[in-house]
Structure 1
Amino acid sequence: MNVYDLHKANPDIFKQFSIKDVLFLYYHCPQKEKILKLHSPYNQLTFSISGRRIFHQGEHTYTVNKNSGFLLRRAAFLQEMDDTIKGWELMAFYLKDEFLKKIFNEFRPHLPLRDLPPQTNEMVIPMDINDRIRSCYLSLIPYFNQSDSLPQEILLIKLKELLYNVFINPKNRILLSYVNSLANGYKTPIWEIMEANYMYNLKLSDYAQLANKSLSSFKREFEEFYGTTPGKWILEKRLERAKRLIQTSQKTVSEITFECGFKNVSHFSRIFKEKFSLSPTEYRGNN
């Protein structure tokens, strides 16, 4: 599910402002299912005000509690409800690359850019929230609750102040390194997108969107890099991941089906047997 489209299409549930290349959001998460499969086509900056959610992206797991947050790069992920704390109040911003680059370059002379850590290839970058950052995003809540129109310049000033304080926090240097790389022309390579997201049941057009490319450009660059088609490569990667989980975990076949991006258990079992000559249950019994 494209979470940006979901948010944009439901302003009654997700309070929002839309300005240029930014979507501002403030809401109490209406999630009812234990786990949601989502993907975001834009950078998503999220601040947790209260409650908790657990995020799974590739092989990594992140817990977001009160007064914590993260930057999600364009990626697919699983959003899980905690069994003990189901509520989640948050503020989030969808930021296109060009907007982030523009704001970063405005602030560049004032940012601590010496000796930044290497560019991370993780899709989720945890964020430290200090008092100044918290004050910035909490000060936006009254604007979401008013019915009068608001000058866009006010919101942009508030967002710039928020981003500046995120950037200068010395505990956010990995995040700063990522935005610095964007401003310096970094484009996420095909392999980085695919290695982080192959286990999610997305359309090829969704993968192309995560890679910030047209579908035709995505297919062409993919085949140039991997020497095969996206469909064949994705299937092989999912099967290898499923085999590894069968060998090394106690997860059920149903759980492995879900976590490896297969449509359903019967579909997974059939193609697993075609590949390895044994059903998933038989394969586990032999290892």
Structure 2
Amino acid sequence: MKYIAQYITEDIKLSCYEDSFFKSDIMFDQHMLVWFISGETKIVQAEATYFFKQGDIFLIPRNQLATIINYPKNGQPHKTVVMHLSTARLREYYAKLDIQPQMQTARKILSYNNHPLLESCLSSLIPYFDMKELPQDIASLKITEAISILRTIDKDVDNILANFDEPGKIDLVSYMEKNFMFNLPLEKFGYLTGRSLTTFKRDFQKSFHSTPQRWLTQKRLELAHYQLAEKNARPVDVCYEVGFENLSHFSFAFKKHFGYTPTELLSRQYKA
């Protein structure tokens, strides 16, 4: 995979994937504002699946789990401008304002497709990526501009950007049943359910009577079987969407669990 990243600061980057495919499971520690220059992205979350393409602009709230699958398109690489809206910077911004964010039960990805103000702000960053000497505070000014635009065009965005609460202790069973397909370190699952790693493992054993890794593997394989048998999905798509890192490992684990490979299951479906 050929990956190129250029930075204005650590919070603003131009990201480019030139290979045919890139997949990762991510927990977003910071809000991310993304502008698509070329390529396509599929973002799979527990509650929804999103598709983004050239010209799209969207905001991913922090502390979200997602599987990200990036593709080139029409001979062009997957290329985006990504702006991180860090908690520290947002605290500084909102310190001057009297804002009381409302609690939100779910933080979905917000789309601002082709909005002229945001597009102008983000596209104006392009010349800076090739400059060796940058105007002082240009990154800070651009991030402040982006936040101000978001607040102008979306009256509810303060409920996301001005909410600095960390995840509290939540019901482990319902959370894991909803998010088991995301291949993340157990420490991340612990953090998102309001637990230390030790407490997470202890509570998990008590709730599921199994180790996290054994339970996660079984749940992912069961979901994969359903996707293959009921929806005739391609093994390569199923593999990445249920939380496996590569197709060979997925096929091996699938056959060990069910006694036949994903390809053999599909062949049976076609013959039936």
**TM class, shorter-chain normalised?**
0.7 to 0.9
Gaps of 5+ in 2: none
**Alignment-derived partner of residue 33 in structure 1:** 20
Question: Normalising to structure 2: TM-score of the pair?
Answer: 0.73
Counterpart AA for 1:84: N
Find the aligned partners of 1:100 and 1:227 in 2 and give their Cα distance: 43
Counterpart AA for 1:68: I
Shift of 1:187: 2.0
State whether structure 2 residue 32 is matched by structure 1 residue 48: no
Structure with the largest fraction of helix: 1
Deviations 1:4-45 (A, max 9, x none): xx9xxx8xx311144xxx621124x12303342342542252
5, 20, 25: which one aligns with 1:14: 5
Structural mapping, 1:8-157, within 5 Å: 13-18=4-9, 23-27=11-15, 29-58=16-45, 59-71=48-60, 73=62, 74-81=64-71, 83-84=73-74, 86-96=76-86, 98-99=87-88, 101-103=90-92, 105-106=94-95, 108-109=97-98, 118-122=104-108, 124-128=109-113, 130-148=115-133, 150-151=135-136, 153-157=137-141
Shift of 1:201: 3.5
Counterpart AA for 2:26: H
Deviations 1:203-227 (A, max 9, x none): 4345456668653354355556666
Shift of 1:238: 1.0
**Alignment-derived partner of residue 237 in structure 1:** 219
Deviations 1:77-104 (A, max 9, x none): 13231543533432112344x3265146
Gaps of 5+ in 1: 1-5
Find the aligned partners of 2:222 and 2:159 in 1 and give their Cα distance: 33
State whether structure 2 residue 160 is matched by structure 1 residue 178: yes
245, 251, 271: which one aligns with 2:257: 271
Identity level (%): 17
Question: Normalising to structure 1: TM-score of the pair?
Answer: 0.70
Equivalent residue of 1:187, what SS? Answer: coil
Find the aligned partners of 2:227 and 2:36 in 1 and give their Cα distance: 35
State whether structure 2 residue 197 is matched by structure 1 residue 215: yes
Equivalent residue of 1:50, what SS? Answer: strand
**Alignment-derived partner of residue 148 in structure 2:** 164
Give the direction of change, closer, same or farther, for the CA distance of 1:237–1:128 in structure 2 (3 Å limit): same
Structural mapping, 1:185-200, within 5 Å: 185=165, 187=167, 189=170, 194=176, 197-200=179-182
